[in-house]
Amino acid sequence: MQSCEVEVIGINYTIHTHKSEHRFKIFSKPAQLDTEQAGREETKAEAEQSCGGVRHVLKNVSFQAKPWEILAIVGPSGAGKSSLLEILAGKHSPQNGTVLLNHKPVNKAQFRKLSGYVTQKDTLFPLLAVEEILMFSAKLRLKLSQEQLCSRVK
């Protein structure tokens, strides 16, 4: 069994946002605002214009995941956890930064063979154990003998 160290150095990932108006009046704010709130709205609008509709999802993120250790990626909603995992899975490309596998730049095809990524919205069989789900997936994806499949799943 092959063990791998994953190192991420200085990942930056931004998305372009554009403010859209709600089509229905029930979702829009009332026309009358008090002066304090109006001032805050203007400041917020100026900040959005100065950013040009760009939102920094990940800013200078670095970490190291060593073999045989457990790494938890935690944070509040919207912190960029899923975006970071999607970059590692090769689904998105960061604007800059480096992803290393065993101290070498990542070959995406090789990394996909060594790792697996299950999305938040993936549907799993609720009555199967984790090992059974992994075995089911391995049987569909890998052309290996039963003994090799069991070894990879474990």
**How confident is the prediction along the chain (154 residues), in pLDDT tens digits per residue?**
567 889 999 999 998 877 655 555 565 555 454 445 544 544 444 444 445 688 889 999 999 999 888 889 999 998 999 999 988 888 888 899 998 988 999 888 877 777 777 777 777 788 989 899 889 988 988 889 999 999 988 8
| Residue range(s) in the chain whose domain bears CATH number 3.40.50.300 | 6-122
Q: What is the model's pLDDT at position 50?
A: 46
Give the span between the Cα atoms of 16 and 92, in whole angstroms.
Answer: 14
Strand pairing report for 6-16 and 54-65? antiparallel
Q: What is the model's pLDDT at position 49?
A: 46
Q: Which CATH architecture has domain 6-122?
A: 3-Layer(aba) Sandwich (3.40)
- Which residue's structure tokens are 């990940």? 58
Backbone angles phi, psi at 150, to 5 degrees: -60, -40
Q: What is the model's pLDDT at position 108?
A: 80
Query: 3-state DSSP call for residue 35?
Result: helix
Q: b/e map of 64-95 (b: 16 or more CB within 10 Å)?
A: eeeeeeeeeeeeeeeebbebbbbbbbeebebe
Give the span between the Cα atoms of 22 and 43, in whole angstroms.
Answer: 21
Q: What is the model's pLDDT at position 61?
A: 94
As given in the structure block, the two tokens for residue 119 are 């999305």
Strand partners, 12: 96
Alpha carbon separation from 3 to 65, 88, 112 (Å, rounded): 11, 17, 14
Give the span between the Cα atoms of 57 and 145, in whole angstroms.
Answer: 42
Q: What is the model's pLDDT at position 46?
A: 46
Q: What is the model's pLDDT at position 43?
A: 47
